Structure 1
Amino acid sequence: MKKYIKTIFSGSLLLASSMMVSCAGDYLDTAPTSSVGSVDAFATTENAAMVINGIAQAMCYQQFAFSQGYCGENQIKTVFGEYPSQNFVYNMFAPGWAPIFNGEYYTQKSTTYCAYPWYYYYTLISNANSVIMNIDGAEGPETDKAFIKAQALTYRAYAYTQLMEFYTYRWSDTQNGTTNGVVLRLDESTGEMPLSTVMECYNQIYQDCKDAISLYTQSGKDRESGKVWLPNLNVAYAVYARAALNRQDYQTALDNAKLARANYPLMSNAEYKSGFCKPTSEWIFGSYGDGTENMWYWTFGTQFGCNGYYANNTEYGAGAIDRTLTDKIPDNDVRKSLFLTTDKFPGFDWTDENVLNQTYAYFGTVKDSKPVTTTEIWKAVNAYVTSMTPSGLTEAYQSGYYYLGGQLKFWVFDTPGVSYLCHIRSSEMLLIEAEANYFLHNEPAAQEALIELNATSGRNPEYTCNKTGEELFQEIVDYRGLELWGEGFNWYDYKRWNKDIVRVGIPDGGNVHAATATTVTATGHNNWTWEIPEAETNYNPGINKPQEK
């Protein structure tokens, strides 16, 4: 492990795998690529733009220092953001993955689980630093230099914000930011370096966002239409809003969330049901997902597309939503239509033991590792799934296995799992506004944000909100869980809220496998804080030294 940590700061572009001349052509203008020679990387602004493209690719590309499947945000969203969360159910994986679901790995410093987020986000930081340190000397228009530097600053702020989620305590446990943060590398140096404080790290994230916003504005440029995998001004505002929310700086979070979603209107119901596999009106930031850059069996869509390889060829399914959440949501909500919940099959008494026996606790499909395709329940579920197939896409769950709460949200448009991957949406920003207003004691504004998200958008035209106090906060919790389900937020949210995860098993009216039907207390398991990986402390002994004052 020491070896792969060291490669991050080797002094050259990690993403620079071959000379630029080997990859010339229009292809580089349309898709992220890591192919740019380290010697030529900053000779011109055109070359530097290719480095920015390479960082974009790293966010959804196999990091070869690790085993298969460690593919940037693909892995971060699922294994780290959803598996240990409240609202994500993955019953076929539950027995083997229970330690991850139940938060038992945070202090195991020698595991790849502990090391991967550190390695991955410092990979982004290292390359962003190279851009920031060298772009001023590139040949090209000053406006291009400003825009490229702004993009690099945005990446760096994004990566440090993520590192703070994993490797530091939630803000409320940091003694006003005085506890240890992470290693704050801001240049191309590779030597020993101590940890900065949490406050120092957030101050730098803020400064990076401010500088990026200033440079974007100064450049007068924006990314090309449709290229959601590249940062722009709105992405910088969004990262600023996220960091401020984590730091409980609610006014800053509110102000920047509003700016982030400008010109990115909430998607229509038709877009919401179109598969989450291609950008829509509200995608502020995402990863490229065409077949030309396909990761094959390690893409997000292969495992988590409901018509991806896993769902169509195995008994694993593609993930399900927690029943205790969807039971709170009105049946006419368009988001609830994307999950196999009991309200869609009113002909069956779900309290009847005979009905439950038909489901084998997995919604009528799994017994002795074979799908049961003859029961009336299975036929009803199968018909519903067929009816929900978006135009132009192949049907979901062709293997014949269905699960209570099974999702029809994420689809793929090519095999085995080709799809774009969203990182930031306007809906998230609106939910940040709701949460920030709540903690700023502006409950009417928090209610208005929920109404805009749920009723004005058309997701549920009949939605109203007059809740206050703890009931209003729970409403924000529930609708954030529903809106952003499967997108990699729920674990972070519950950590930020200092809120216990309480999973209800099938015998008690939930839909969670016995191995993960448990309570994970917010104060347990190292306060949900991953230890700095052993490989990093071996490489950088400065981590164990106090800062110089």
Structure 2
Amino acid sequence: MIRNKKYIFLLAFAAMVFVGCTEEYLETAPTDSISESTALSNEDNMYLVVNGLHRMMYGQNQLTGGESSRSGESHFLPMFDAVGGSIIHSSPGNGWMTSDLKWTSHTNANATTGFNLWFQRYHFIEVANAIINKAAGSNFTETEKLNNVLGQAYAYRAWAYWRLVTTFSKGYLIGNPSTDPGVPILLNEGAPYEGGPRGTVEDVYTQIYSDINTAISYLGKASAPEDKSHISINAAYGIKARVALSKGDWQIAADNAALARNGYPLLDESGWLSGFNTNDLSEVIWGGYVIDTETNYYQSYFYYVAFAFNGSQNRSNPKLISKELYDRIPSTDYRNKGWLPLAPNTNPAASNDLGGSYETDPNYDNEDDFWDAWEAIITEYGATSGHNTHPYMNVKFKQKNPGGIDPDDVIYMRSSEMVLIEAEAKAMLNDVGGAQNALDILGSARDSAFDKTAFTTQAQLMDEIKWQRRVELWGEGFSYHDNIRWDEGLDQTNSGASEVLYQAGFMQDKPSVNDDWIFQIPQDELDANPFLTEADQN
């Protein structure tokens, strides 16, 4: 595997490093480092090590050998929606994520995004391995806190392998999992960092199921989580539901989704429209509480997705929902307030070539109305005079301090997703009544006129479920993997995306016949891992 001969255990406020005993390390070790034996010597230290993984989930890369520019779920969530065609960019902006839109990043073995995604996920695995193996080889007394630590370690390992195999391998439901190459399965830690061969997709899923089941067993006997950045038993059920959905284990997906959302009521209208900037929202099951003093500001989640964030990515490039998708939202569904279809197109560099003036924007016929509309949006949503607006722009995501660069929380899992998993799984089981009832939980919460009986067949149910996922979870990082699971390609013809800007990402054939949906394995991994050759590249 790609290694820098260090395992970095990031604590809440300090770095703890344990490494192999090499002369090079001894000469360069930071003064706040501690040995592996100390870091894993007791449950309290292990707990701090796990806290470091919570920080790694959203934070700027802290790993020597990694790249800080594209790292953590703060980057990967909007990146997946850029590749998956959900988040539509209105202009090139400052260039961030344009390679993802164009499909020139994940198809490039030397790209930073794929490297960091691989590098960091294996770091999660490495740290989890160290905790799991240390506990197995020691005479620790079982306590609620130790169960908490081990439960989270197993859950992180399951989550990391699931992220890897669903991104760097062919989708389980559209390939031949018993023979399709997966990702290397590593269960040990420490030198000599030999790496391993690619197990099959089936092998990787077997390991994931084993890990998440063990995690649930430990977390069922664990102390209560400190906050929602920790993996609770509900979050572990949610991870299992996601895994089962991607594998087509429909009943397991439905059952675990129901368990995951228990105790996390859906948002009401005011909650849904409040901006998705805090994990304190009732339906957030798992999310990163961003530490203000340690965040990445211009590489934060809200830098990519929030209209009013005062960064060059947003001022000239408000993010859009697909016109085709938005126009299906009924007037009785309050989610229609999360985007502004009639916002004036004020950017002369807008990729649809209609920006900069009422004379080019078909929604306006005079200058006063055009600029009054812009001013009203700037005022209401707290943007700056340097921010542009655009039709179908997103205001779903709002900062606590709009117009600034302060960090906000990153949400990883909500109960609405779990409702939709339950509905999809039951639809795939052809349990029409069960799917209708599950779908009604979300539909009725969002749309005062929702009628579950309008969907009487599996095909009708799936069409509605797909639409609901694309609207409800817009900007939260699901579209890329959803398209793979549903075996749906990209066609941005009626979305509002620019073919000139999107290039290859404007239209792509479905994943079952198009291996460009699979991320390239980083070239550095092929060069460093003796078990892999160029023939192992996707």
| TM-score bracket for this pair, using the shorter chain length | 0.7 to 0.9
Partner of 2:334: 334
Describe how 1:377-416 pairs up with structure 2 within 5 A.
377-384=370-377, 386-387=379-380, 389=381, 395-396=382-383, 398-414=385-401, 415-416=404-405
Q: Is the 8 A contact 2:323 2:392 kept in 1?
A: yes
Mapped to 2, the partners of 1:398 and 1:192 lie a distance apart of 52
Deviation of residue 255 (structure 1)? 1.0
Mapped to 2, the partners of 1:373 and 1:412 lie a distance apart of 32
Partner of 2:153: 152
Partner of 2:285: 284
Partner of 1:531: 520
CA 1:312–1:440 in 2, change beyond 3 Å: closer, same or farther?
closer
Partner of 2:10: 15
CA 1:151–1:67 in 2, change beyond 3 Å: closer, same or farther?
closer
Partner of 2:197: 194
Describe how 1:103-114 pairs up with structure 2 within 5 A.
103-114=103-114
1:121 aligns with 2:124: no
Describe how 1:513-524 pairs up with structure 2 within 5 A.
514-516=500-502, 518-523=506-511
Q: Is the 8 A contact 2:183 2:204 kept in 1?
A: yes
- The more displaced of 297-306 and 519-528 is 519-528
Mapped to 2, the partners of 1:117 and 1:294 lie a distance apart of 19
CA RMSD of aligned residues (A): 3.1
1:479 maps to which of 460, 468, 471 = 468
Q: Is the 8 A contact 2:93 2:316 kept in 1?
A: no
CA 1:216–1:68 in 2, change beyond 3 Å: closer, same or farther?
closer
Q: Is the 8 A contact 2:419 2:442 kept in 1?
A: yes
1:500 aligns with 2:489: yes
Mapped to 1, the partners of 2:326 and 2:261 lie a distance apart of 27
Q: Is the 8 A contact 1:306 1:411 kept in 2?
A: yes
Q: Which digits, 9 at most, give the CA deviation of each residue in 1:35-66, with x for residues without a partner? A: 87644212221111100100111111222534
AA matched with 1:49: Y
Aligned sequence identity (%): 27
AA matched with 1:282: E
Deviation of residue 373 (structure 1)? 11
Q: Normalized against structure 2, the TM-score is what?
A: 0.85
Describe how 1:264-283 pairs up with structure 2 within 5 A.
264-279=264-279, 280-283=281-284
Partner of 2:144: 143
Describe how 1:224-235 pairs up with structure 2 within 5 A.
224=226, 227-235=227-235
Partner of 1:423: 412
Deviation of residue 239 (structure 1)? 0.6
CA 1:375–1:169 in 2, change beyond 3 Å: closer, same or farther?
farther
Describe how 1:69-88 pairs up with structure 2 within 5 A.
69-79=69-79, 81-88=80-87
Mapped to 2, the partners of 1:36 and 1:341 lie a distance apart of 54
CA 1:36–1:260 in 2, change beyond 3 Å: closer, same or farther?
farther
Mapped to 2, the partners of 1:18 and 1:169 lie a distance apart of 36
Q: Is the 8 A contact 1:94 1:516 kept in 2?
A: no
Deviation of residue 177 (structure 1)? 3.2
Q: Is the 8 A contact 1:235 1:285 kept in 2?
A: yes
Mapped to 2, the partners of 1:41 and 1:201 lie a distance apart of 29
Q: Is the 8 A contact 1:324 1:504 kept in 2?
A: no
Structure 1, unpaired ranges of 5+: 21-33, 351-356, 390-394
1:435 maps to which of 424, 437, 443 = 424
User: Aligned to 1:383, what secondary structure does the other structure show?
Assistant: helix
- The more displaced of 140-149 and 419-428 is 140-149
Q: Which digits, 9 at most, give the CA deviation of each residue in 1:490-542, with x for residues without a partner? A: 1111111110111026xxx8354642273211146525011222211211121
Mapped to 2, the partners of 1:486 and 1:149 lie a distance apart of 31
CA 1:258–1:66 in 2, change beyond 3 Å: closer, same or farther?
same
Mapped to 2, the partners of 1:332 and 1:310 lie a distance apart of 34
User: Aligned to 2:405, what secondary structure does the other structure show?
Assistant: coil
1:164 aligns with 2:165: yes
CA 1:398–1:411 in 2, change beyond 3 Å: closer, same or farther?
farther
Deviation of residue 210 (structure 1)? 0.7
1:510 maps to which of 496, 499, 502 = 496
Partner of 2:294: 293
AA matched with 2:82: Y
Deviation of residue 247 (structure 1)? 0.8
CA 1:471–1:86 in 2, change beyond 3 Å: closer, same or farther?
farther
Q: Which digits, 9 at most, give the CA deviation of each residue in 1:467-502, with x for residues without a partner? A: 224332121111100000000111111111110111
Partner of 1:306: 307
User: Aligned to 2:412, what secondary structure does the other structure show?
Assistant: strand
Q: Normalized against structure 1, the TM-score is what?
A: 0.83
Q: Is the 8 A contact 1:89 1:320 kept in 2?
A: yes
User: Aligned to 1:182, what secondary structure does the other structure show?
Assistant: strand
Mapped to 2, the partners of 1:363 and 1:480 lie a distance apart of 33
Deviation of residue 251 (structure 1)? 1.1
Mapped to 2, the partners of 1:228 and 1:328 lie a distance apart of 33
User: Aligned to 1:424, what secondary structure does the other structure show?
Assistant: strand
Q: Which digits, 9 at most, give the CA deviation of each residue in 1:323-374, with x for residues without a partner? A: 11001111232211010114x89xxxx9xxxxxx9x952485899xxxx995
User: Aligned to 2:113, what secondary structure does the other structure show?
Assistant: helix
User: Aligned to 1:277, what secondary structure does the other structure show?
Assistant: coil
- The more displaced of 52-61 and 184-193 is 184-193
CA 1:409–1:504 in 2, change beyond 3 Å: closer, same or farther?
same
- The more displaced of 153-162 and 189-198 is 189-198
- The more displaced of 285-294 and 322-331 is 285-294
Mapped to 2, the partners of 1:418 and 1:35 lie a distance apart of 28
1:250 aligns with 2:238: no
Mapped to 1, the partners of 2:481 and 2:412 lie a distance apart of 14
AA matched with 2:465: I
CA 1:422–1:192 in 2, change beyond 3 Å: closer, same or farther?
closer
Deviation of residue 111 (structure 1)? 2.2
Partner of 1:491: 480
AA matched with 2:60: Q
Q: Which digits, 9 at most, give the CA deviation of each residue in 1:168-199, with x for residues without a partner? A: 10113332432111111112152241111111
